[in-house]
Structure formats: C-alpha cells, structure tokens
Amino acid sequence: MARVRKIAFEEHYTAVGFKDYTKSFSQHIDPAVFADIGARLEDFDDMRLREMDEAGIDYVILSQTGPGVQAEPDAALALSRARQNNDFLAEQVARHPDRYGGFAVLPMHDPATAARELERCVGQYGFKGSLVNGHTNGRYYDDPAYDTFWECMQALDVPLYLHPVDPYVTPQAYQGHPELVGATWGWGVETATHALRLLFGGVFDRFPRLKLILGHMGEGLPFQRWRFDSRFSVYSHGITLQRAPSEYIGSNIVITTSGVCSPHALNAAVAEMGEDAVMFSVDYPYESTRIAARFIEEAPMDETVREKICSGNARRLFKL
C-alpha cells in the first residue's frame, strides 16, 4: 500500500518558562516516561522530523503543551510569557518552514489582549490560528465579553483548537478516583462541555464563519448529535438557536483523530459529521506517531475520503 501523505496539528512542544505549568499532569506520569516526553517536547529537529518522515507526515502545526498560560493567574505575566513563547515558536518555524507551522499561545485573561496577540501572530509570523487550553482560571469563552475576541478571529479567518484541561473545580463524582479527572475521562468531558457552552451560548450564530477544532475524535460530541437535537427541543430553557444543535457539529465544530485510533469511531464520526469535518492528528509526543499513522492508513474507507482526512481537509482549513 502506498504511504498516504499527512498533515497533523495537535503536535506539541514546550519552551523556556512553561515547565511549571505542566506539573499539574506530569506529576502523575512515571518520571522516566516523562523524561522521554520532555526531550521530545523540546526537540525541533532530529527526533521530531525523523518520526514525521517515517510516518509520512509532511507538515505539522506546532502548539505549546498544556495547560500553558491558561493556568497563569497573573494576566500581565500570561501576556509576557505568551509573547515570548510565540516569538520562540516563530524562530523554530522559520528554521523548517516547509515542515512546520505555528498555533499562537493566547492570554485569554482579557479578550481584547488575546485578540491583539492573535493579530500579531497571524500578521507578523503567519501562524495558522491558535490553540487554547480550555478555560482561563474558570472563565469560559461563551461570556459575551469574548465577542471582541471571536470577532477578531472571524475577521482573520483562522481556527481555534480547544485543547483539554482540568476542570476548574473537581466534580464530586471524581472524588476518590483521580484516574477519572485527567486524560482518561475528565479532560474530554470538560472540553466537550466548553464547546457546547459556545454552541448553546450562540457564539456560532453571532459569528457564523468561526471554526473550532476539537481533538480526540471530537471529545465524544459527534456521537451525541441526534440526542442534542431531541432533548434540546424539550429542554431548551428559553434558549433559541438559528439552527438545530447538530448542524453546528461538522460545520463550525470540526475534529481531529488525535489520541483515538479506532477505525469504528472514525467511520462513525465521518458518518455523523461528513468527510470534510474530520482530520488526522497524532497528539505528539503523548501518543505514538507510528500507531496513529498505521491506524489512518489501514482504516477501512474510500481512498478519496482517506486523502481528505489525512491532508486535504487541513490544506483547505489552513489555506496551505
């Protein structure tokens, strides 16, 4: 079988000053394992490019690993570190412009400040959008104050990748079960809920050209589209939307396969959302590039659909 060329864009790195933020989850990973992850996060040459070549990945869009400045309580420091990080990333991208693009780190503490930093990164560095690690100290972006930011993002015509993060307050249901709080379960629930806040908060009605990206096969949302329509029609609580809830999932909300290498889930997501709304990614270095590449190459599907998922949809979304 000929190797299918690929683009990936939940591919992480880290920069000076950001390791303190990762302690929230790295403390739960075996130190030897995280030492290897840490080395991969800091590498922009040998290891990363070799894995890309072996997997047939032509191009990746790099993003700062979570939780990043979303976990920084000081807004001024968050801006300073975001700018430093974005400048650093631009330098790495400039060294391999045919292989790397960048997602901006944004200090979402203040919507106008975040909008200005996004404008700077897109205009000055050609970044492809942004990756934001969930809420900022418990503040969610359906808050009408963030319309300033969403207006800017729509005008720039770049997407935002909403990446998982811990819940601001750990739910009672997780008490005594720390394994549920993070990547195994809680991160997906947290991120899907944030995306639904944007949907039901009318953000996509106010800014209909927005594109929000969810990883991990859409954090489960594709598989609940029918139920969202059914139950919202009964329990709307006075909220009105211009379209059925399901219609935003696949148009405004698009997804990647990162971290879910299940052919059955992939085919179901394509069936629910359409072949233009699903895209390949790895979640490097937390997931195996080799396994992800083999999965997408061997999953049973039409080859024209496979090409869209592996690279075509990303080329269109990011204007590559």
Distances (CA, A) of 119 to 55, 116, 150, 222: 33, 5, 12, 31
Distances (CA, A) of 276 to 43, 154, 273: 32, 20, 8
Asked whether 204 and 198 are in contact (CB, 8 A), the reply is yes
The span from the CA of 286 to the CA of 33, in Å, is 10
**Which residue of the set 110, 142, 166, 283 is catalytic?**
283
Distances (CA, A) of 91 to 39, 84, 169, 178: 19, 11, 37, 38
Backbone phi, psi, residue 143, to 5°: -55, 125
**283 a catalytic residue:** yes
The span from the CA of 34 to the CA of 51, in Å, is 18
Treating both helix axes as pointing N-terminal to C-terminal, what angle do 31-42 and 46-55 enclose, rounded to 10 degrees?
90
- Structural tokens at position 50: 């070799």
Residues annotated catalytic, as ranges: 283
